[in-house]
Amino acid sequence: MIGNSVKKGLLVGLKTTWTLGKVIFPVTLIVSVLQYTPVLQWIIDFIAPFMNMIGLPGEAAIPLVLGNFLNLYAGIAGILTLDLSVKEVFIIAIMLSFSHNLFIESGVAAKVGVKLWTILTVRIGLALLAAVIINLVWQGGSGLAKYGFVSPGTAEINGVWAILLNGLERAASGVLQLAFIVIPLMIIMQIMKDLKWLDAMSKVLAPFTKVLGMKPNTSMTMVAGLTIGLAYGAGVMIQAAKEDNVSKKDMTLAFIFLVACHAVVEDTLIFIPLGIPVWPLLVIRLTTAILLTMIIGLIWNRSEFTQRKEAYEQ
């Protein structure tokens, strides 16, 4: 039985890698090339005047743009080039926790069947709202942030072909890294499914998903997103949506939760060297994800109940 599970998981992993690779490769290539053009600087210059509204200096647009166009590591590299207070670094960190790697992770969400505008609205909206609230509520953190490490910035590359080659290498590397994670993961998940372990996990997580307004069959989607993130967890999510018959409503609710709080360990720990309190960062993300999903789930379920009642009365 294990042999059949491995074979089935391998095929699913390869198919999933191909599906996600079609998103990751072109997006990574385009963004990698844009780093060596004036485009990112134009965007930074456009956003900079609005930074004061959320308690940040104009140059804070640099890590925010890098983090949203690329990933958290690029955003952190941008922070390291600036002299910022602890409060300013914390505001940037919480914004990037909610909103980063927008193109790839939003593209993945679209592959699962969640509307793109929903994901972008939630992520960008949460980032801006959190920044405004922290700026108004937190009166401390005025001391200069002390960074625990120095990360190299973008390497200097000259020439159109060199830039294009670098972009192709990064895009191919991204897909290869995806394959190394997704294929073994899908094999393990298939074995666990055939051994009925996933059914047991679903039962354990059922009360939690029910509180959030979702059915128990969304549990694997939640576990994958919380532990390994949206991009790499998407393989499990796509497979779960197909095999477990996860409804579009439940998948949307799951993604609303996960865009606010995913890869909780990695995305929290990487901010430690920036000299900011990370426990509040984790608590804010978890609390926001739970409350937001519960509220939207409650409204959605009541709306469906009202529609069914009206249809019955007619």
pTM for this predicted structure = 0.78
Q: How far is it, in rounded angstroms, from Cα 9 to Cα 6?
A: 5
Structure tokens at 30: 């385009």
Grade residue 148 by pLDDT with cuts at 50, 70 and 90. Answer: low
Q: What is the mean pLDDT of the segment spanning 77-101? A: 90
Q: Is the pLDDT of residue 61 over 60?
A: yes
Which of 17-26, 195-204, 282-291 comes out lowest in average pLDDT? 195-204
- 23-38: pLDDT as tens digits: 778 877 887 787 788 8
Q: What is the dihedral of CA 157, 29, 266, 83, to 10 degrees?
A: 40
Q: How far is it, in rounded angstroms, from Cα 2 to Cα 189?
A: 12
Q: What is the mean pLDDT of the segment spanning 65-76? A: 84
Grade residue 131 by pLDDT with cuts at 50, 70 and 90. Answer: very high
